[in-house]
Amino acid sequence: MVRPGELAAAAPVFAALGDETRLGIVTRLCVAGPLSIAWLTAGGGVTRQAVTKHLHMLAQASLANRSQIGRERIWELEPRALLSARECLSQISAQWDEALARLRLFVEPLRPQDG
Amino acid sequence: MVRPGELAAAAPVFAALGDETRLGIVTRLCVAGPLSIAWLTAGGGVTRQAVTKHLHMLAQASLANRSQIGRERIWELEPRALLSARECLSQISAQWDEALARLRLFVEPLRPQDG
DNA sequence: CTGAAGCGCAACGGCATGGTTGCACGATGT
DNA sequence: ACATCGTGCAACCATGCCGTTGCGCTTCAG
């Protein structure tokens, strides 16, 4: 069962993942581990400021958090929100399977020859 | 391995799921099966036009498609995009596990007494 | 035929987002 | 001491999103 509270919690995570640049940052943090802003800026086609904004949005969605080493800000992934988002998708698709099964139970007796 | 093309494809799906109203519509279509716009409007706190726009955005992300019965537009869920989004999240978290394992391999030899 | 239900199209306002530029500040290396 | 690197903050612009209202069209019911 999906409770409404879970949806309200999952929506911001999906929104944070719903930008191509941000999804690239997430993937990169995932593959390469914790990185500084300058390093994250190097690969993508956007400014350092844009990367900074995206990182803050990821932090607001509990998808990343930062630490400081000297003058560098090191950002790393926070996988819990990612896992809960995956959980949400799994629940939705599970409910869809359920609904499909119910639909079959409802439809098939009406057309027993079409099988 | 996550290829960049997959990310570019998954981002719009996440963006479509990244709104609370839309996520509610998706859940509702999932639980109750195909519904008309008027029926979808009844439950939520928004106008019929808002629901219509959201449905079109879901369609653009390949998350829903519509059919027509008389004067009613019946919308139903298209689970393939949902599954591919879930797949994307799974790949990301799998890569995160990998990275964590590499990090452990790198860190643990330096502090063998801290177990 | 007439009324009502269901829906689409278009326009509008408010607000958030994605991106840029410019400037200032602490940390680092020589 | 000085240049440089890495960031933060603030302002700015363009665009898109979210939701509304108003109007008109088709379809169904009496």
In tens, the pLDDT along A41-97 reads 998 899 999 999 999 999 999 999 999 999 999 999 999 999 999 999 999 988 888
Of residues 26 to 85 in chain A, which lie within 7 A of strand C by their beta carbon? 45-47, 49-50, 53-54, 57, 70-71
User: Where does the pLDDT of residue B43 fall: very low under 50, low under 70, confident under 90, or very high at 90 and above?
Assistant: confident
Establish whether the CB of A98 is closer than 7 Å to any nucleic acid atom in strand D: no
Radius of gyration for the alpha carbons in chain B, expressed in angstroms and rounded: 20
For residue A115, the model assigns a pLDDT of: 40
Listed in sequence order, the residues at least 6 apart from B27 whose beta carbon sits closer than 8 Å to its beta carbon are: A2, A7, A92, A95
Range from A2-11, A81-90, B13-22, B89-98 carrying the lowest mean pLDDT: A2-11
Q: Which of A89, A1, A72 is nearest to B18 (CA)?
A: A89
Q: Kindly list the residues from chain A whose CB atom is less than 8 angstroms away from the CB atom of residue B77.
A: 96
What pLDDT, in 10s, does the model give residues B48-100? 999 999 999 999 999 999 999 999 999 999 999 999 999 999 999 888 888 77
Number of Cβ within a 10 Å radius of residue B103: 13
Helix (H) or strand (E) holding A67: strand A64-69
At residue A10's C-alpha, the angle toward residues B31 and B62, to 5°, is 60
What's the pTM value of the predicted model, to 2 decimals? 0.88
Range from A7-11, A97-101, B3-7, B99-103 carrying the lowest mean pLDDT: B3-7
How far apart CA A27 and CA A91 sit, in angstroms, is 24
- Token pair 């003058």 is found at A71
- H helices of B1-115, in order, are 4-17, 20-32, 37-43, 48-60, 79-107
Q: Kindly list the residues from chain A whose CB atom is less than 8 angstroms away from the CB atom of residue B10.
A: 17, 23
CA B60 to C1' D15, whole Å? 19
Q: Which residues of B touch A (CB under 8 A)?
A: 2, 4, 7-8, 10-20, 23-24, 26-27, 30-33, 77, 79, 82-83, 85-86, 89-90, 92-93, 95-96, 99, 102-103
How far apart CA A57 and CA B91 sit, in angstroms, is 22
At residue B73, the 3 state secondary structure works out as: strand
Which positions in strand C are less than 7 Å from the protein's CB atoms? 5-11, 17-22, 26-28
